[in-house]
Amino acid sequence: MDLGSEERFAAYIEALASVLGHAGRARRLRDYCTGLVLPGERKSAEPIAARTAPGRVAAQHQSLLHFIGNGQWSDEKMLGKVRELVLPAIEQHGPIEAWIIDDTAFPKQGRHSVGVQPQYCGELGKQANCQVTVWLSVANHFASLPVACRLYLPKEWAEDRARRKKAGVPEDIRFKSKPQIALDLIRRASEAGIARGTALMDVDYGRDSRLRAGITALGLSYVAAVQPNILVWPPGGRPKRQGRPLNNTGRRGEPDLISAKELALGLPKSAWHTIRWREGSVGWLSSRFARVRVRVGYNRAIPELLSEETLLIEWPAGEDKPLKYWLSTLPADIAFRRLVDIAKLRWRIERDYQDLKQEVGLDHYEGRGWRGLHHHATLCIASYGFLTAERATIPPSGPHSSALGQTSALPEGYRPRGSALAA
């Protein structure tokens, strides 16, 4: 007989508690994740305390703040346990196909929250005072699961000893660019033995040749969005001076280099094909694409020339120019529709962010420290993982939605047995 959602949630939290390192932390884990999963407009510590222990809000609030902000438990071990529990449910619907890199921002007031400063905020679409976190999600066509998250620490923060100390930034954390952080996350995921997929990234990451080279060195393929001005040798072309460092923005000594946009505009009509890749909410998604085998002129700091890659180009009907470009190291003979389908699978991480923020309060953390921010993000992933696993239990013929949270996985009055919630 199938257990109900309450029993499955209790079993899930009990399994997660096994990596906390101290039995006394289990109750706080259960309370915090319960607050994240239950309906509610705010998912920071105080509202969670009010909902989970209405008779002792102040004490519960302090207990949860300590657990999140100061608790000496490992995010890495917790995320490893989440993967162990959730990925099998996702993989019942197909193997992992993609590792998706991206970042998301949390708008903030003031200047004391760790890593906060005026920088580009995707949520607002402009420069704003915010924190930025870099993420890695694994995905197939059924679902996705974030497996790693790390705060981007701007150089001003990384070099400010006083602010670092006050926010509890670990000594070994130094300034790294977002692509460098992304490569670290990918490297650790590879070392952890997570089922491999094709690395997908938007243009902010895809244009970084060091990141692309690093992914290749790890034995992973990628489909990376790139800018239309990236320089390539067209089919059959290659550098005239072997071993010479190349400049991605100039053509000195290499007159055969052309931009991806020039190459696209020069393709014959026969190169363009209408491809549909998946069924959306209002029908099949489709557009016009072309693909060409090219070699890429890499940055001077990376003198080696990588093998041929596929340049994938999207030029929707009715547009006066191509709109999107990708470089792919997937096999040259991959089916055209499959190549487009994988490139477009990056939408999964956008859904992750939407559900993490709307359903479990990823952007509701109000603390200022490094540890608290990462602990909160980890438990948001854990709670999101439970919701994802619950969705995986719905039979194909049953009612379902690509969004997780139209209804809560737990009843609003849920109280775990034997916890402080009932006090």
Within-domain flag for 106: yes
Mean pLDDT, rounded, for 218-241 = 88
For residue 383, is it within any domain? yes
| Domain total in the chain | 2
Backbone angles phi, psi at 312, to 5 degrees: -100, 135
Residue 5's pLDDT is: 87
Summarize pLDDT for 44-75 with one digit per residue, the tens.
999 999 999 999 999 999 999 999 999 999 99
Whether 178 and 306 map to the same domain: the answer is no
pLDDT for 396 equals 57
Last-in-domain residue among 329, 358, 390: 329
More reliable by pLDDT, 135 or 307:
135
Q: What is the pLDDT of residue 239?
A: 65
Angle between helices 45-52 and 57-69 (to 10 degrees): 130
Q: What is the pLDDT of residue 403?
A: 47
Give the sign of the dihedral formed by CA 294, CA 300, CA 302, CA 303: positive
Q: Which of 300, 329, 358 is the last residue of a domain?
A: 329
Q: How far apart are CA 103 and CA 122, in angstroms?
A: 9
**132 and 19 fall within a common domain:** yes
Query: Mean pLDDT over residues 213-221, rounded?
Result: 96
Q: How far apart are CA 159 and CA 138, in angstroms?
A: 33
CA 186 to centroid of chain Cα atoms: 11
CA angle at 152 for the pair 151 and 157, rounded to the nearest 5°: 110
Q: Is 0.85 topped by the overall pTM?
A: yes
**pLDDT value at 203 more than 60:** yes
What's residue 410's pLDDT?
66
203 domain-assigned: no
- 263 with 180, same domain: the answer is no
Residue 417's pLDDT band, with cuts at 50, 70 and 90, is low
Phi (first) and psi of residue 219, to 5 degrees: 85, 15
What is d(CA 246, CA 228) in angstroms, rounded to the nearest whole number?
A: 18
Give the C-alpha separation, 378 to 271, whole Å.
46
Residues 161, 242 share a domain = no
pLDDT (0 to 100) of residue 253: 54
- Picking from 329, 359, 388, the residue at the C-terminal end of a domain is 329
Q: Are 121 and 107 in contact (CB under 8 A)?
A: yes
- 232 with 306, same domain: the answer is yes
pLDDT for residue 397 is more than 90? no
Shared domain check, 193 and 141: yes
Residue 304: is it exposed, middle or buried by C-beta count within 10 angstroms (0-12/13-18/19+)?
A: exposed
Output the pLDDT for position 261: 97
DSSP code, position 308: -
> What value does the mean pLDDT of the chain take?
88
Same domain, 312 and 247: yes
What pLDDT score was predicted for residue 408? 58
Residue 399 pLDDT exceeds 90: no
Q: Find out whether 313 and 322 touch, Cβ atoms under 8 Å.
A: yes
CA distances for 263 relative to 73, 254, 268, angstroms: 52, 16, 10
| Neighbouring residues of 341: CB distance < 8 A, sequence distance ≥ 6 | 277, 278
User: So what's the pLDDT on residue 245?
Assistant: 43
Q: Mean pLDDT lowest for which of 86-100, 278-292, 314-328?
A: 278-292
Confidence class for position 361, pLDDT limits 50, 70, 90 = very high
> Is residue 62 domain-shared with residue 144, that is, in the same domain?
yes
Q: Provide the 8-state DSSP code for 25.
A: G
Residue 229 has pLDDT above 60, yes or no: yes
Q: Do residues 121 and 191 share a domain?
A: yes
Helix axes 26-37, 5-17, angle to 10 degrees: 140
Q: What are phi and psi of 53, to 5 degrees?
A: -145, 65
Please indicate, yes or no, whether residues 241 and 367 belong to a single structural domain of this protein: no
Q: For 148-161, how does the pLDDT look when each residue is reduced to its tens digit (9 = 90+)?
A: 999 999 999 999 99
Q: Is the same domain home to 40 and 143?
A: yes
| Lowest mean pLDDT across 57-71, 102-116, 241-255, 280-294 | 241-255
> Domain range spanning residue 45?
5-198+350-422
- The pLDDT of residue 337 is 96
Within 13 Å, how many C-alpha atoms sit on residue 317's CB side?
Answer: 7
Residues 256 and 367 in one domain: no
List, for residues 296-339, the tens digit of each pLDDT value.
Answer: 976 444 545 458 999 999 999 999 999 999 999 999 999 999 99
Supply the pLDDT for residue 2: 47
What would the two tokens of residue 358 be?
């709307």
CA pseudo-torsion sign 298, 303, 304, 305: positive
Share of the chain above pLDDT 90, in %: 77
Question: Please, which pLDDT band fits residue 234 given cuts at 50, 70 and 90?
Answer: confident
Q: Over 90: is that where the pLDDT of 423 sits?
A: no
| pLDDT the model gives residue 104 | 95
Encode 264-284 in three state secondary structure. Answer: HHCCCHHHCEEEEEEEECCEE
Task: Say if residue 400's pLDDT is above 60.
Answer: no
